[in-house]
Structure 1
Amino acid sequence: MGRHGAAEPRAEASPLESARFGCSVARLTVPPGYGSLAPVREALRASDADVVVLRYPAENVGWFAHLLSDDGRVPLFAGSLVYWSLPAGLGRRPAPQAGLRTAALEDRETASALVAGIFAEYGNHYAANPLFDGAAALAGYRQWAAGSAEQGRCLALWADGACGADRAVGATPADAAAGTAGGGRGEILGLATVADDGPRTEILLAGMVPAARGRGLYAHLLRAVEDRALGRGAAEVVISTQEHNTRVQRAWARYGFRPSHAVLTVHMVRSGLLSTPGRPQRPAAREG
């Protein structure tokens, strides 16, 4: 056991990410309150993965400078995750709106299609690493959402009648396909996948389809998650995003969420891989 009452950190293999990106990937997550870098560096040296996705509490901001001196790996700073929390039952719940309803979404294909449209432009931590293809990263999100739907951990916001037909100009065919894949139940405007962990419910993926953004509807999706948390006796709802995603954080603040903590992400890449000739590169980001 470590000095902080938790097991010493270790890198755990990530088979799904390894298969998706064509190189061996492991994850090493340092728990809150863990202030010693030495065991973390030992765990990095012990791992034979090509890339170790290292996450540690943001208060240990000085660690990165020491990671630069690691002879066996190159650290790529991959942003930070900011966490927000809400005591269940204290959300600023929107009034019911005619034509809107939320319910479980259990269809894998529908959940996958929705995520493809919702997160197509989301700049996640994978974008920091030229070894990771952006399309493969999005495919991982789609797979994640599909599994959540199959396991009963996915909620959707539906719109019926005139509300459902009021689509924003410029919606793509993909938007339309995802939005109407509700088995006759109406147009799907948004989705949230969740994980229930003891006294808290965590929102893993959540968002609105592009055609439904800017209409004040996201709060109805948050209310559905809060209802689920209250129904199972949870005391807290937790959600996180990359620090640059300020728009959604403003929506969380309006609903009643408050900042909780932040976690830094660093990709520790085995030396030499980034300059290997012929190594597949992630497509360049679009301008604008």
Structure 2
Amino acid sequence: MAWQDVTGGGAPRIAESPLDSARFGRPVERLTVPAESRSPFPAVREAVLGSKADVIVLRYPAEHVGWFAELTSLGRTAVFADSLTYWRLRAGRGRAPEPPGDLQPTQRVTPEAVRETVSDIFAAYRNHYLANPLFDGAEALAGYREWALRSASEGGCVALREWSPAARPGGPAAFRSTTPSERPSRAAPPEGGRHPAGNGDGDGDGILALATLADDTDRTEILLAGVVSRARGRGLYAHLLAAVEGRALALGAREVVISTQGHNTGAQRAWARYGFEPALAFLTVHLVRPRLLRGRRR
């Protein structure tokens, strides 16, 4: 769930989730309570009771510790799905490692390489969909691939490749260049409606780590990030964060934000070492029509 969706105030927002509905073969809606919302629980109750979806994916600030008990009285089965933590970094304050000579950051990654890399990185990741017996794990992974491809096709992608003699050498700090021609651009995409991240000449070979990103006026959000299974244990994740921070600085962003499930403590330790600080905490509950779960087990 994107940073801009959970921050700010206002009433709870409920909307259809067409991608989830198509992927899992049943109507799914998403109900989000923003972090600074002053709405009491009755506003959530009204939204739930008015929904015709089979599954409502509800996310609300974790400080509302009494809400789960109330959710169990709304005529749906409440499935606790996850906790979600958001962290933020002031751009330029990261504790970046020295760039090694055998890594090259790049934004030129083909769709095929994005798909293959995300499949490897998140093959065993336990996301909130897996809490629900109605949702298939393979389809959830397919959703991660689609999400990554969408952001990469819009120019929001950074990868680390093993350096080769044919490639321009450089470490993660390469994105800090002050040469305008080398900076990532917020301008309209070139021909075909894609930035170079969607048109690259790479074939996936040599990609060790990948991050897909979303940008707004003064913020870069890391949507998905990780190191491929064959390269874990080498400290590459910090270099990936450094590449993202360098790109954010080149774009003029003031901060970098990222989120993950609460159980993913390894990633959060890495963020803390790099200089990120915890910012927000949310809970995810799936509200399911009871008849759909009868006899089903995860």
TM-score by length of 1: 0.84
Question: How far apart are the structure 1 equivalents of 2:212 and 2:115?
Answer: 11
Is there any run of 5+ residues in structure 2 with no aligned partner, and where? 1-7, 166-199
Question: How far apart are the structure 2 equivalents of 1:196 and 1:161?
Answer: 30
SS of equivalent residue, structure 2 residue 253: coil
How far is the alpha carbon of 1:183 from its aligned partner?
Answer: 2.6
User: Aligned match of 1:204 in 217, 220, 223?
Assistant: 223
Pairing 1:228–2:247 present: yes
Question: How far apart are the structure 1 equivalents of 2:204 and 2:214?
Answer: 25
Residue in structure 2 matched with residue 63 of structure 1 by the alignment: 67
Residue in structure 1 matched with residue 189 of structure 2 by the alignment: none
CA contact (8 A) 2:112 2:203 kept: no
Residue in structure 1 matched with residue 284 of structure 2 by the alignment: 265
Q: In the comparison of the two structures, how many residue pairs are matched?
A: 256
Provide, for residues 136-158 of structure 1, a one-character-per-residue CA deviation record: whole Å limited to 9, x for no partner: 00000011111222111111000
Provide, for residues 16-74 of structure 1, a one-character-per-residue CA deviation record: whole Å limited to 9, x for no partner: 10010011101011001224111111011111111010000011121001101112x11
How far is the alpha carbon of 1:245 from its aligned partner?
Answer: 0.7
User: Aligned match of 1:154 in 157, 163, 174?
Assistant: 157
C-alpha root-mean-square deviation of aligned residues, in Å? 1.9
Residue in structure 1 matched with residue 191 of structure 2 by the alignment: none
Provide, for residues 89-122 of structure 1, a one-character-per-residue CA deviation record: whole Å limited to 9, x for no partner: 0000111111101010341111011000000110
User: Aligned match of 1:145 in 148, 159, 182?
Assistant: 148
How far is the alpha carbon of 1:7 from its aligned partner?
Answer: 4.1
- Matched AA of 2:24: F
Question: How far apart are the structure 1 equivalents of 2:86 and 2:48?
Answer: 25
How far is the alpha carbon of 1:185 from its aligned partner?
Answer: 8.5
User: Aligned match of 1:12 in 11, 15, 36?
Assistant: 15
| CA separation of 1:91 and 1:6: change in aligned 2, threshold 3 A | closer
Residue in structure 2 matched with residue 26 of structure 1 by the alignment: 29
CA contact (8 A) 2:9 2:36 kept: no
SS of equivalent residue, structure 1 residue 92: coil
CA contact (8 A) 1:110 1:182 kept: no
How far is the alpha carbon of 1:254 from its aligned partner?
Answer: 1.0
Residue in structure 1 matched with residue 183 of structure 2 by the alignment: none
User: Aligned match of 1:189 in 180, 183, 208?
Assistant: 208
Provide, for residues 123-148 of structure 1, a one-character-per-residue CA deviation record: whole Å limited to 9, x for no partner: 00001100000000000001111122
Pairing 1:47–2:51 present: yes
How far is the alpha carbon of 1:197 from its aligned partner?
Answer: 2.4
- Matched AA of 1:62: G
- In the TM superposition, structure 1's runs of 4+ consecutive aligned residues that sit over 4 Å from their partners are none
User: Aligned match of 1:37 in 29, 35, 41?
Assistant: 41
| CA separation of 1:147 and 1:185: change in aligned 2, threshold 3 A | closer
Is there any run of 5+ residues in structure 1 with no aligned partner, and where? 163-180
User: Aligned match of 2:80 in 62, 77, 80?
Assistant: 77
SS of equivalent residue, structure 1 residue 91: coil
| CA separation of 1:264 and 1:184: change in aligned 2, threshold 3 A | closer
Question: How far apart are the structure 2 equivalents of 1:105 and 1:28?
Answer: 35
SS of equivalent residue, structure 2 residue 123: coil
Residue in structure 2 matched with residue 99 of structure 1 by the alignment: 102
